[in-house]
Each structure stands twice: as C-alpha cells, then as structure tokens.
Homo-oligomer: A and B are copies of this chain.
C-alpha cells in the first residue's frame, strides 16, 4: 500500500434529532469525495466525530463505508480511544470488515509517556495485519508524539507504515524527513499548512476540505507534484480563507454547515458540540461563493 495524494474525511451525518446516523446522506457524501479525486477515504476521523459515537455506531459507519467505497480507493478507518483494549478491539473489527488501514490517535486523560505511546501502538500492531497510520494531533487527543518517537515506531513496529502530522509545525515534517532519510511517508493534517507541507516533502494531505471544495485540494496536490510552484501558490491562496474557516472552530461543525448550504442535510455535531451559528454561516456562504 503506497499512498499519496488526498486522503478525504467524510463527516458522520446525523438525523435531525441528532440521535440516528443517516446512512443515505453518508452514502452521497462518500460518492462526492470519490468524485473529487480523493486517493483514499478516511471515515471516523476527527471530522467523522469518531470520539462521539458509541461502539455500535462506530462499527456500523466503518462497515458501511468499506462497503460503499467498495475498493475504488483505499479506506482508512479512524480510531480514537483512551484505553489500549478498546483501540485493539476497534482495530481488529476494522480489519475484519476489510478496511485497508487504520488511522489511530491516542486520546489521553492522563498524559502518556513515550513508552506508553509506543506500547499502545505495539499492542494494536500485534493484533492486526493491516497498516497503521499514526495520527499526531495534540490539540484534540491531548498527546503529543515527537518526530523522534514517530520515526522510532515506524522503524520498530511492524504495521506502523505512515504518519499523519497535524500540529501545523513545519519543522516537525523536516525532522520526520531527516530522521528517516525520507523513508517515512508523512501526511499533512493541518489544512492551512497544505502548500508548504507538500513543498517540504509530505506524501499527501489528509483533509475534510474536499467536502466543500471538491477537486481544489487535489488540484493543489497535483500542481506541487508536477513542480508547478507558481500555479500551486495561486491555487493555495485561493482556498486558504476557506481552509482557515474550516479549522477555526471544530471541523464537523464547519463541514456540516457547508454541506447544508450545498443542499445536503447532515445535521449538526453531537452535543455538547453545537451547530454553526448564523454569523458563521453567513461568513461561510460568502467564502463558498468566492472559491467556487
């Protein structure tokens, strides 16, 4: 599995009352992401409110997505669990339903030591035989995984084969590149860093932006890949206001509001999260008009 390009993140749509998952809407979101040229689909990420679903819901979304994507592109299932045993349980389930990989973020209550993080991934790896993308995002998970530890896990844990770096710190990517002699494939998970991360050697971009920007993220990726720097710069600055909006609050709120403006009712994020407020929606509307 040699992944590059755009890894797209679907939201998890809820019915009006916020209780039921709306699989019909999920299906059409998945189609739209594939139409946008996504190179992989990653359900149950931060965007997919993975941490807000119960076990049964999580399993249903995972299975439905693998089914719906149906091998057209790889499916990378997101796992964000506080205990090792729960993370293992979900990883095994993901493999059992045919997911191509899992993307795992260690969620913390008590901060984890490097050894605790290492053991967490090691135990997951011991229980599956599909690739693991290590997802570093201290702003959500509360755990910060250093470049040194990321490279160590890539070198020493069998199924750890790629990294998603979401700190937004370009120096981390430099470190990943140097410490692994360019061997470790790292993906950018910070939307407003997309241009520079790709210029610095990222294998791709993990993003929910295609939900609202369709092919534009892919377009940026392709122009950098071809070395069209001037074009890439223009394309990037065009979508930057929207990328910044998407990450200004929580991502599912922004994406769900945007989908609604595009005629798709995916509900609002689950409580305590609230949906976008009127002034945010007005701003989003004006941004969407500009970039389309």
A residues lining the B interface (CB < 8 Å): 46, 51-52, 80, 82-85, 106-113, 115-117, 119-120, 123, 139-142, 168, 170-171, 174, 177-178, 192-193, 195-196, 199-201, 224, 227-230, 233, 237, 240-241, 249-253, 269-274
Residues of A contacting B: mostly? helix
- Specify which chain B residues have a CB less than 8 angstroms from the CB of A142 in the assembled complex: 140, 142
| Bound form: Cα–Cα A196–B171 in Å | 10
Known pairs A110-B249, A119-B274, A227-B228. 19 more at Cβ < 8 A? A51-B82, A51-B109, A80-B109, A83-B272, A84-B271, A84-B272, A115-B274, A119-B271, A142-B142, A171-B192, A174-B192, A178-B240, A178-B241, A195-B200, A199-B199, A200-B233, A227-B227, A227-B230, A229-B229
What residue of chain B has the Cβ atom nearest to residue A173's Cβ? Answer: B196
The answer to whether A272 and B174 touch across the interface, beta carbons within 8 angstroms, is no
Question: In the assembly, what is the distance between CA of A196 and CA of B190, in Å?
Answer: 15
The docked-state distance in angstroms from the alpha carbon of A199 to that of B270 is 39
**B140 touching A250 by the CB < 8 A rule?**
no
- Nearest Cβ on chain B to A132's Cβ, whole angstroms: 15
Residue from B106, B224, B241, B250 within 8 A of A272 (CB atoms): B106
Cα-based distance from A140 to B108 in the complex (angstroms): 7
If A109-B51, A196-B199 touch, whether A237 touches B177 (CB-CB below 8 Å) is yes
The 8 closest A-B pairs by CB, nearest first: A110-B250, A196-B196, A84-B271, A51-B109, A120-B272, A199-B199, A227-B229, A116-B272
Partner of A193, one of B140, B170, B240: B170
| Cβ contacts under 8 Å, A274 to chain B | 113, 115-116, 119
Give, as a whole number of angstroms, the nearest-CB distance from A33 to chain B.
21
Do the beta carbons of B116 and A240 come within 8 Å of each other? no
Looking at the assembled complex, report how far the CB atom of A96 sits from the nearest CB atom of chain B, in whole angstroms.
Answer: 21
Q: Which of B106, B140, B229 contacts A110 (CB 8 A)?
A: B140
Smallest Cβ distance from A253 to chain B, in angstroms? Answer: 8
18 CB-based A-B contacts, threshold 8 Å = A52-B82, A83-B272, A84-B271, A110-B253, A110-B273, A113-B274, A116-B273, A117-B272, A119-B272, A119-B274, A120-B272, A171-B193, A178-B237, A178-B240, A178-B241, A201-B233, A224-B229, A227-B228
Nearest CB on B from A42, distance (A)? 16
